[in-house]
Amino acid sequence: MKLHRLFYLGLFLLLLYLFVARANYLARFVYPFHYREIITAEAQKNDLEPLLVAAVVWVESSFNKEAQSSKGARGLMQIMPETGLWVAEQIGMDDYTEEKLYDPQVNILIGTWYLRYLIRQFDDNQYAALAAYNGGRGRVSNWLRSGLWDGSREGLENIPFPETRLFVRKVEQAYSRYRQLYPTE
């Protein structure tokens, strides 16, 4: 009788282990980490966590380098052409063209630089920076200045743009998932 119980307990633990190990394996298909070398290098240059950048890319384009939004944002990190031109001027990129936003190297270089710029602009407030990345830095500055939103995670419901509110939440959730699935990055 005890032998049967030990056998079933061992079988249960084995199946549980396989399920958990397999779940992470399958979850990596849902949350891939493509362009890892580029993301890691550019994130490190800009003092960002690579997994945060991966989460932004996942939310923005699902790692589709050819992605284009209805508003004209392009590439992996969904950079607006005007933003791309402005960042290219800031970093001294002489050969910038809008088409280069479909090049993963250029898109991630510009996107990570811009994300770091926003984090600095909003005094290291990652939530405000992510909201600005999606909704525009002028709008977010106005929301913060007017008291419409306090820039906190707890106050996300006060972000007036549902799309921006959802974007910040999705990035936060994806970032949490990426940290779980890629803990050594």
Confidence (pTM):
0.86
Burial of residue 23, with CB atoms counted within 10 A of its CB: 0-12 exposed, 13-18 middle, 19 or more buried: exposed
Q: Which of 42, 60, 89, 172 is catalytic?
A: 60
* DSSP code of residue 1: -
Element (H, E) at 86: helix 81-91
Q: Which among 50, 47, 42, 53 has a CA at the least distance from the CA of 105?
A: 42
What string of pLDDT tens digits covers the 185 residues of the chain?
A: 576 676 666 656 655 554 545 557 677 888 999 999 999 999 999 999 999 999 999 999 999 999 999 999 999 999 999 999 999 999 999 999 999 999 999 999 999 999 999 999 999 999 999 999 999 999 999 999 999 999 999 999 999 999 999 999 999 999 999 999 998 75
37 is catalytic: no
